[in-house]
């Protein structure tokens, strides 16, 4: 299966560099690189969602860096494309934060998170976890945490399987799980991005589908 978009992304920098990037420059980079992560046409709703993500992360990551400047040295990637069995275009976490020993994935929702979202959120998290910790060579042995953020909710915190679901004002509750208590930067983020994937000899699409049950 040919997956043209694997290892591509829309934006990658240190958290400190992201915080120093104005919204117009950020959105321009996201729009410019979008054709490299998907064959689908860019929509106004997607641009609005990125603007929402930018606002939340600028506020919350600034607080993290203000607490410990070391957080500013961690890497942040937007729309990084992972290999996938079921989708030749791969799968893209909204945001990925990379440190020396930890991967933090953040998925954003513009509407409130309800019961109708639980199955999708947990199955996506399971896919990210398996794809990175089992198949992505550079991620094996690392810790991984997944967080879902509803930008339209307040004072919300819920755990669904391995996923912490929050409103933006509860970001402090997931800071350590996403980025660690004593953050250290990854030694080579671009080596991590270009990692090879390996699969067990017995691993096939039926095995992949069984993960969703």
Does the pLDDT value for residue 117 go beyond 60? Answer: yes
- DSSP SS3 for 73: helix
Can you give the pLDDT at residue 4? 78
Does the pLDDT value for residue 182 go beyond 60? Answer: yes
123 versus 86: which is more confidently predicted? Answer: 123
What is the spatial distance between Cα 110 and Cα 147, in angstroms, rounded to a whole number?
14
Does the pLDDT value for residue 73 go beyond 50? Answer: yes
pLDDT tens track for 24-45 = 999 999 999 999 999 999 999 9
Buried b (16+ CB within 10 A) or exposed e, 12-50: bbbbbebbebeeeebbebbeebbeebbeeeeeeebeebb
What is the spatial distance between Cα 119 and Cα 10, in angstroms, rounded to a whole number?
27
Report DSSP state, residue 212. Answer: T
What is the spatial distance between Cα 71 and Cα 184, in angstroms, rounded to a whole number?
8
What is the spatial distance between Cα 22 and Cα 92, in angstroms, rounded to a whole number?
23
Does the pLDDT value for residue 171 go beyond 90? Answer: yes
pTM: 0.91
* Nearest by Cα to 51 from 94, 103, 8: 94
pLDDT tens track for 141-153 = 999 999 999 999 9
pLDDT tens track for 102-115 = 999 999 999 999 99
Domain ranges of the chain: 11-210
Does the pLDDT value for residue 190 go beyond 70? Answer: yes
What is the spatial distance between Cα 86 and Cα 29, in angstroms, rounded to a whole number?
28
* Nearest by Cα to 144 from 186, 185, 104: 104
- List the single range of 51-65, 78-92, 108-122 with lowest mean pLDDT: 78-92
Can you give the pLDDT at residue 212? 37
**Arithmetic mean of pLDDT, 44-63:** 98
């Amino acid at each position: 299966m040919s997956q043209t978009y694997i290892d591509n992304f829309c934006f990658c920098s240190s958290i400190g560099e992201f915080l120093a990037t104005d919204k117009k420059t950020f959105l321009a980079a996201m729009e410019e690189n979008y054709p490299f992560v998907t064959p689908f046409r860019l929509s106004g709703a997607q641009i609005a969602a990125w603007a929402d993500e930018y606002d939340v992360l600028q506020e919350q990551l600034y607080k993290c860096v203000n607490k410990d400047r070391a957080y500013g040295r961690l890497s942040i990637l937007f729309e990084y494309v992972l290999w996938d069995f079921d989708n030749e275009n791969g799968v893209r976490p909204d945001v990925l934060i990379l440190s020396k020993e930890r991967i933090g994935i953040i998925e954003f929702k513009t509407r409130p998170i309800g019961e109708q979202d639980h199955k999708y959120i947990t199955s996506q998290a399971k896919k990210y976890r398996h794809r990175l910790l089992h198949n992505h060579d550079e991620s094996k042995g690392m810790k991984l945490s997944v967080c879902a953020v509803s930008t339209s909710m307040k004072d919300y915190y819920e755990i669904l399987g391995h996923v912490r679901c929050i409103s933006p004002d509860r970001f402090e509750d997931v800071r350590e799980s996403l980025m660690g208590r004593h953050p250290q930067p990854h030694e080579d983020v671009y080596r991590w991005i270009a990692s090879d994937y390996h699969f067990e000899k017995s691993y096939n699409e039926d095995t992949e589908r069984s993960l969703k049950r």
